[in-house]
Structure 1
Amino acid sequence: MGRLGSWIVSDTTLFLFVALVVAILVIGVAVALVIGSRGRALPPADTVDRRLDDLREHPEAEPTPTGDGLEPALPEPGEIDEADTDNVEPPAEGDLAVDDVTTAPEVEQPAPTAGRLVRLRERLSRSQSSLGKGLLALLGRDRLDEDTWEEIEDTLLAADVGVTPTQELVETLRTRIKVEGVVEPDRAKAILREELIAQIDPSYDRSIAATGAEGAPGVVLVVGVNGTGKTTTVGRLARVLVADGDTVLLGAADTFRAAAADQLQTWGERVGVPTVRGPEGGDPASIAFDAVKTGKEGGYDTVVVDTAGRLHTKAGLMDELGKVKRVIEKQAPVTEVLLVIDATTGQNGLTQARVFAEVVDVTGIVLTKLDGTAKGGIVIAVQRELGVPVKLVGLGEGADDLAPFDPEGFVDALLA
């Protein structure tokens, strides 16, 4: 009995020990599961039931498990469709990197003057000018009778050469061809070339007076009627002067046309030329005065002042233009007054020129839109009318399509 009791006690002790070990293990596993699942809330029961129902109806749409078996796995970086990037929100302004910021365009280098002359001659020679072609065709006839000379005269008048210059040119051509006994078309062409150049008068000084005296800048005042391309001409003139090595300042005294100052400033910025401007509708004389004053104090070579286009028939506007010139000259003398004329306006351009010359003492003519027109004779007519030379011509829409006028090159292009 004593041995049996001792064995029972020993067996009970062993059982309790095993039970205790098992209990500890169970508790440890339970604690580990609780800690591992902390922070991951289970979805609501109704959500689980709904998703299970969807999976039963559409087994092919079963997602790839990511932990709870209910959310699809994220795609790998290379699996993202490029089309999805169209809807990506751009970064906030403060998040832009330096390389993302658009930089200002570089300052342009205007084309050299010499290169422009060649290009403009070629363009004019390709234009459909009836002045040169018509005269050559008539002078190339086997017999030059009275009817032919009348046709030559009509051709010159249609090209806006003017009545008096036309009569003089026809008379000179008739005399020379008769006296020299010309029968060859090439010789007739040579005589025509010489007489056209003589009518245009190569003795004129066609340089732009862009330099002042005694430390003052040269002041170029640009005037003209509406629609002649005046502001564009000012911008192109700035490029001509910069190409010649001058330092230039622009004055935006056209305060009546909307965005005229913006347009002029854009032209200047392209070649690194600053613009003095004022409020829209402001006093143009005041702005012109400030521009010349700034140019004088800043040591600029040239100040180019743009003015508002005005009809030559409006006395009040013409008087205002005279005021602009007088106010400028309180700072520095105006060294050049350029009148911009649209070559396609013909004889109307002569009327405009006459009125402007009376108000501001025009010293030079700029002919725009001279390409592709039969009105090349306006060069002769306007010079005879005003007694001042054509100094610049525009033969296209490009930024550098403005060049100094060359009589011989112009005639050669017409007769090419």
Structure 2
Amino acid sequence: MKTEADVLVVGGGIVGLATARALQLRKPGAHVVVIDKEDDIARHQTGNNSGVIHAGVYYTPGSYKARLCFDGRVRLVEYLQDKGIPHRIDGKLVVATNADEVDKMKEIQRRCQANNVPTQWMSREEFREVEPHAEGVAALQVKVTGVVDYKVVCQSYADDIRAAGGEIRTGTALVSGRPGLNDVTVETTQGPIVAKQVVTCGGLNADLVAKAMGARPETRIVGFRGEYYELTPEKSYLCNALIYPVPDPRFPFLGVHATKGIDGHVHLGPNAVIALAREGYSWTQINPRDMVQLAAFPGIWRLAQKYWKYSIGEVQRSFSKEAFVKATQKMMPEVQVEDVVRAGAGVRAQAMRPDGTLVEDFDFLHEHPRVLHVLNAPSPAATASLAIAEVIADKLAEAERVAI
């Protein structure tokens, strides 16, 4: 069967598109093909996130997340400026509401210093000049945080791919793959594709895609749905940019925060509840097969045992606007129940080990020299996309040299 692509990228989210772009630009004469099962690109994680350009505040120093978020943010902002894509770099405030949170915020500041993230410690009087409607005893300002519409970024990446000679095929789902000595045959719903190398960026289906390609990932993707509320237009003045709480280090999520998006709307959230389908954006979206697979995975029960009290609060905020607003009022006391309306939801693809621990860093699986799987790329993957793409391109180039 004739080789159809130099590299096949499975997944049309922001990581897949950034990867295809990097590979096509590195080898202008090559042919990179992107496939995605949906009828358009960026339909899941990328198209349903808060649009934050992250600084790298919370990540373990030296980790992929810390290094690639820093590098990726610089690359992304330069890209946005070069392409004329609307964005804002307004900074964010991490607000401490009591003395215990002040101590935790000092640790956050130390981590920022280790990650080369510039910060400024602010008193109550100082931070209220920036966010007059925030409340607390002190705040940490992270000036390099910003916002953008990542769907627009993805369209721009896609334009770059096509302009450089690459191809994007939507409505094309991977069925299976057979890595060989000289190439890889991938069966899709639109027929077979033979490629010299394959990269899978399956997001919410990353583990299933890897298994379909013959890999043996130890982790499983668990979907955590994050639900948002939105301030009514007449109350959007309550937030100028981004206002975050001090996260509790005992728990894996940041807590409800306020984000003024590129469109001027202020979103509150997200919470974090288990999705009842891999692409379950509401409680009514239930996939029995996904539920059976999830119930059979020991990690989910161990996670539930460890965080059951925290989970109850998240579920309560899912069903109760009053509970959601109460969490917001901790740092924005002027927000009232009548000031918020339901907004959208996103599902975070989080890799989990069988012992119930979450994979904290970006994770790659490279069992076969011609196939690389991106198994875990949650936030800040959108911010870091251009840097992640370079890492993947380097890995493929090294594998190609070894194969030769």
TM over 0.5: no
Taking structure 2 as the reference length, what is the TM-score of the superposition?
0.26
Larger radius of gyration: 1
Richer in helix (by share): 1
* Greater RCO, CA 8 A, separation 6+: 2
Richer in strand (by share): 2
Taking structure 1 as the reference length, what is the TM-score of the superposition?
0.25
